[in-house]
Homo-oligomer: A and B are copies of this chain.
Amino acid sequence: MSGHFKNLLDTIGLPPGTLVHVGDKKLEKSLITIFDYDVDNFSEHTAETIEESFSFRDKPSITWINIDGIQETEVIQKVQSHFHIHPLVVEDITNTQQRPKMEDYGDYMYFVLKMLYIDSDTGGIESEQVSLILGSNYVISFQETVGDIFDPIRDRIRNFKGRVRKTGADYLAYCLIDAVIDNYFVMLELLDQQIEKLEDDLIMNPRQELYEEVHQLKRDMIFIRRQIWPLRELISGLQRTESPLIKPETHVYLRDAYDHAIQVIDTIESFRDILGGLHDVYFTSISNKLNEVMKVLTVISTIFMPLTFIVGVYGMNFKHMPELEWWFAYPALWMIMIAITISMVAFFKSRKWI
């Protein structure tokens, strides 16, 4: 997983605002889809070039430009110059190592979000950056790859479901942010199942491999936490903003998104606590196993060492050992040895060692 930082260095030394795509180049060519709607009308189409979207900027209807793939820097550069975006914003869009944040540039607001999913191949947590630009009547969203988490929103726009068609661009932006947060719950539930399974396994049959899974999950939590923690600040800042871009009636929805974000963070903290407890369970368990093993060893040694000594005594070759001549010596010795064994066993039973 050395990759979490491996792209950080690519922009060092470049002047701020330089446009270099930093991240795994996931899509060769950007895919641009445009939704344009108001309460009465609705149009949707996939654009060949970014220029097709520019005509929508000055129309009063709400326009959502979704750009999947951020390695085509000329597309983003054109967006920048046409929508008068600050160079630093564009740098942040193309550098996928950002923390979630909100920045208010007056005419528009800029959001960085992190989508998290579990890679089905490796089982590891992967992160994808989603950038949003919210203008007075448009939203531009940037994703690293073609994703489906915004599909329900597309569906609502198309089919006039919910409030989205009746409200402004700020509500659309809220919907997109909320879709990202909702997506965390999918991941959290998978992690929850994984942790529960691990917990059961670890209590039933503690093994170092399982513990290494605990460690891996702890690392995942550290990673997830770093991606999600700033979200709290982002949405709370959004609630307190005085930007005219956010209409008063949207605030109640932001409060709802804030609640969801808190719930996600709470859950991650709980997972961390539970994983910490698993360490203790595992560790006491291997210590107990050691005790078990040592008891077996001690019981065996304590029974056989005296017996071996006794038979050793009568294996000596002294001339003058009267017992050796007695006809009842051998069976009597067996009696004695059986008595010793029984009393030893009784002693260990009383101590609950066996």
Contact = CB atoms under 8 A, between A and B. Distances in A.
Contacts of A192: 2, 4-5
Q: Which of A92, A185, A288, A304 has the most CB of B within 10 A?
A: A304
A178 interface: yes
Contact of A289 (B14, B256, B291): B291
B293 A211 contact: no
Given A185-B9, A252-B88, A320 B330 contact: yes
Contact of A300 (B86, B301, B315): B301
Contacts of A17: 162-163
Contacts of A16: 162-163, 175, 178, 253, 256
Nearest to A306: B304
Interface string A1-42: 110111011011111111000000000000000000000000
Number of copies: 5
A12 B186 contact: yes
Nearest to A312: B311
Given A13-B182, A189-B8, A256-B16, A324 B317 contact: yes
Contacts of A11: 182
A174 to B, nearest CB: 8
Given A178-B16, A256-B16, A300 B300 contact: no
Contacts of A4: 192
Contacts of A294: 290, 293-294, 297-298
Contact of A193 (B2, B284, B290, B301): B2
Nearest to A290: B291
Interface stretch (A44-52, A54-62, A121-129, A258-266): A258-266
Interface stretch (A71-79, A131-139, A239-247, A270-278): A270-278
A64 interface: no
B327 A320 contact: yes
Q: Using C-beta atoms within 8 Å of the partner chain, give the interface range for chain A.
A: 35 or more
Contact of A330 (B163, B282, B316, B327): B316
Interface of A: 1-2, 4-6, 8-9, 11-18, 86, 88, 92, 97-99, 101, 103, 105, 151-152, 155-156, 161-164, 175, 178-179, 182-183, 185-186, 188-189, 192-193, 196, 203, 208, 211-212, 215, 218-219, 222-223, 226, 252-253, 255-256, 259, 262-263, 266-267, 270, 273-274, 277, 279-291, 293-298, 300-302, 304-309, 311-321, 323-330, 333, 353
30 contacts: A2-B192, A5-B267, A9-B186, A9-B189, A15-B156, A15-B163, A16-B253, A17-B163, A86-B252, A88-B253, A99-B259, A101-B259, A203-B215, A222-B274, A223-B270, A286-B291, A293-B298, A296-B298, A300-B306, A301-B305, A304-B305, A305-B305, A307-B309, A311-B312, A316-B317, A317-B321, A319-B326, A320-B326, A320-B328, A321-B330
